[in-house]
Each structure stands twice: as C-alpha cells, then as structure tokens.
C-alpha cells in the first residue's frame, strides 16, 4: 500500500552536513520525496510535534535541542513507506541501532539521534499537517517506477 511518512533530519544531521548522504539513502531505496523544507523550528511547533513526551523528564531538553538549529523536514512516499523508513532509520538509541541504519551509522547518543520518522499512519498524517500545507506536497511520477515496483 502506497503511503506517506513524515521524516525530519534533526539539527545534528544538518549541522554535521549529513543531509545529502541521508537523503540519498531514501532515494536509492526507491522512495519518493514529495515535499522538502529546511526550516527553523520554533518552540510552539516543537511543543506540538513532541507533545506526547511533555510529561517526560527529557522534554525541555528535547525542545531546546530541536529549536537550536535548522532541521530538514520532508514527506516521503512509497509502498509501506512508514515501516520501510523506520527500518532504515534504526533503533532510537544509536548504540543499539544496527550498522547500516541511519542512526547506527551516524549517531552515538539517544539525545542526538540524527533523525525522526513517523511510527504509524495516524502520526504521519498529524506530523505532515503540522509541517506542510497540502499545496506543498507534490504528486509526480518516477521514471524508474517499473524497476522498483512489480
């Protein structure tokens, strides 16, 4: 089933100049980037995005971190995109993430784990709506689709 997922390269990925390497992994996999925006995330948006963690002790540090520098936000589309991307991203704790995953290859600490990816269709829909207007999401055909999907 073709679905959309929200993905955010966090400030550490941007500041460490890893955007191109990470973005190319999604493209090489055959996923379609349908929206992309480099942006500073303000405190209000950060609190909405991470609202489910508001009662946790790490919440204020998370808000400070995610607002500290620009993040690259995107919408990625593909067959079972949410599960595929989560597998590519790896475990939340980079020390537990498999080598070959984004966090396993580029991260060392849970608090600086490079990337966020939606974990379910409901959260993907909510997160996409927080960061993108409908008219910012592009619909287009990939010329190599017949080589990616049966």
Report the 10 Å Cβ neighbour count for 12.
21
CB 95 within 8 A of CB 108: yes
User: Alpha-carbon distance 45 to 71, whole Å?
Assistant: 12
Q: Helices 19-29 and 81-89 meet at what angle, rounded to 10?
A: 140
CA 55, chain centre distance (Å):
23
Quick one: tokens of 111? 């608090």
Q: For tokens 């597998």, what's the residue?
A: 87
If we measure between CA atoms, which residue out of 17, 15, 18, 14 comes closest to residue 26? 18
Catalytic status, residue 49 = no
Given the residues 116, 124, 127, 132, the one annotated as active site: 116
Quick one: tokens of 126? 């909510």
Active centre residues (catalytic): 116
């Amino acid at each position: 089933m073709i679905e959309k997922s929200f993905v955010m390269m966090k400030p550490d990925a941007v500041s460490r100049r890893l955007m191109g390497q990470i973005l190319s992994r999604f493209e090489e996999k055959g996923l379609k980037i349908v929206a992309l925006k480099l942006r500073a995330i303000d405190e209000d948006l950060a609190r909405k995005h991470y609202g489910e963690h508001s009662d946790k002790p790490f919440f204020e540090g998370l808000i400070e971190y995610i607002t500290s520098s620009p993040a690259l936000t995107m919408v990625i589309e593909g067959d079972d995109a949410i599960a595929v991307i989560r597998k590519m991203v790896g475990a939340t704790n980079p020390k537990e993430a498999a080598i070959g995953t984004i966090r396993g290859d580029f991260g060392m600490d849970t608090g600086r784990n490079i990337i966020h990816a939606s974990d379910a269709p409901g959260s993907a829909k909510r997160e996409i709506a927080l960061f993108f207007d409908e008219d910012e999401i592009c619909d287009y055909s990939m010329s190599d689709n017949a080589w990616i999907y049966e």
